[in-house]
Amino acid sequence: TQGKVITCKAAVAYEANKPLVIEDVEVAPPQAGEVRVQILFTALCHTDAYTWSGKDPEGLFPCILGHEAAGIVESVGEGVTEVQPGDHVIPCYQAECKECKFCKSGKTNLCGKIRGATGFGVMMSDRKSRFSVRGTPIYHFMGTSTFSQYTVVHDVSVAKIDPKAPLEKVCLLGCGVPTGLGAVWNTAKVEAGSSVAIFGLGTVGLAVAEGAKAAGASRIIGVDIDNRKLDRAKRFGVTEFVNPKEHEKPIQQVLVEMTDGGVDYSFECIGNVSIMRAALECCHKGWGTSVIVGVAASGQEMATRPFQLVTGRVWKGTAFGGFKSRSQVPQLVDKYLKKEIKIDEYITHNLTLEEINKAFELLHGGDCLRCVLKV
Binding residues vs ligand NAD (CB under 6 A): 45-47, 50, 175-176, 179, 199-205, 223-226, 229, 244, 269-272, 275, 293-295, 318-320
Check if 15 is active-site: no
* Contacted entry of ligand AHE, Zn ion, ligand NAD, none for residue 56, CB cut-off 5 to 8 Å set by kind: ligand AHE
Check if 67 is active-site: yes
- Residue 94, interface with ligand AHE (CB under 6 A)? yes
- Residue 203, interface with ligand AHE (CB under 6 A)? no
Spatial CA neighbour of 27 closest among 6, 4, 2, 1 = 6
Tell me the CB-side half-sphere exposure of residue 360, using CA atoms within 13 A: 21
DSSP annotation of 42 reads: E
CA-based diameter of the chain, in Å? 65
Binding residue for Zn ion, selected from 31, 38, 42, 47, defined by CB under 5 A: 47
* Contacted entry of Zn ion, ligand NAD, ligand AHE, none for residue 272, CB cut-off 5 to 8 Å set by kind: ligand NAD
CA distance 195 to 217: 6
Phi-psi region of 238 (alpha: psi -120 to 50; beta: other; left: phi over 0): beta
* Contacted entry of ligand NAD, Zn ion, ligand AHE, none for residue 58, CB cut-off 5 to 8 Å set by kind: ligand AHE
Contact 267, 293 (CB under 8 A): yes
Q: Which of 203, 282, 370, 371 is catalytic?
A: 370
CB of 210 to ligand AHE, least distance (A): 17
Contact 196, 212 (CB under 8 A): yes
273-281 helix and 251-258 helix, angle to the nearest 10 degrees: 20
Check if 97 is active-site: yes
Check if 283 is active-site: no
Q: Which of 42, 47, 144, 203 is catalytic?
A: 47
* Contacted entry of Zn ion, ligand NAD, ligand AHE, none for residue 34, CB cut-off 5 to 8 Å set by kind: none
In whole angstroms, how large is the CA radius of gyration of the chain? 20
Whose Cβ is closer to ligand AHE: residue 94's or residue 266's?
94
Check if 210 is active-site: no
Give backbone dihedrals phi and psi of 7, rounded to 5 degrees, phi first.
-105, 125
Looking at the annotation, which residues are catalytic? 45-47, 67-68, 97, 100, 103, 111, 115, 175, 370
